Structures are given as structure tokens and as C-alpha cells.
A = this chain, B = another copy of it.
């Protein structure tokens, strides 16, 4: 696997499941975000610093396919890639696989860079873009 893919493990806890005994569908979006955050961190970008400068990443679009249910206590892996990097947005391709390599969930998630003060789009900071170019 090249440095163009970032892998991050997620354990399924009680909090993530529902009465069907499986992971509640909204929680996959939490898993995807944790993985994006840890990827940025691994690249030296800490989002609290960005937030302090009124730079936030918000999700604009989600396309998610749930292929196979994940269960309580499973160890999942989130695999993330950047499929497109624009001036003010990033398109991530993310996938969750279980311990036997089956795909649980896949998604394309478009993240936009915004100013929270003004609640409008802004360019991704140059230092972030620079770093992300290196993992495409």
C-alpha cells in the first residue's frame, strides 16, 4: 500500500451498535471522520489549530454503500484515499473492511473548507494543500 492510502483501526463498542445487534448506520460516518482526522494528524495537521484560525472542514456530500453489517466487538479498518483535491474542497474515497477482509461499507465524502464565522466557503490553507498533494 502506497502512502496514498491511510489505514486506521476502529473497534466496535456497545455505543456503536443498535438493537439489531449491528453497527448503527450513522456511526460509519463517525468512523470515516475519525480516519480523516487521524490522517491529517499523521501528516502534521491538527484541526484544533485550524479551528482556532476559523478554518473548519465540513461535509458537503456523502455517498455511502453499506455492503455488510459489522457487529459488536469487531475490529474494523478504515482505508482512506483522496480522489480529488480542489481549491476549497477535498473528495475522499473511504472504505471499511472487517477482520476477514470483507468490505463493510464504502463511501465518497466531499469535504469543504469553510469559515465558521462567515459560514461560507474559503480556500484550503496553502500548508494543508501542500501536504495533501503529497498523498495523492
Contact = CB atoms under 8 A, between A and B. Distances in A.
Interface of A: 11, 13-15, 17-22, 24-27, 29-30, 33-34, 37-38, 46-48, 51, 56, 58-66, 69, 71-74, 116, 119
Identify whether the interface residues of A are mostly helix, strand, loop, or mixed.
mixed
Number of copies: 4
A33 B13 CA distance: 8
Given A29-B25, A73-B46, A119-B69, A18 B17 contact: yes
A8 to B, nearest CB: 11
Given A15-B30, A116-B20, A72 B58 contact: no
Contact of A61 (B48, B60, B66): B66
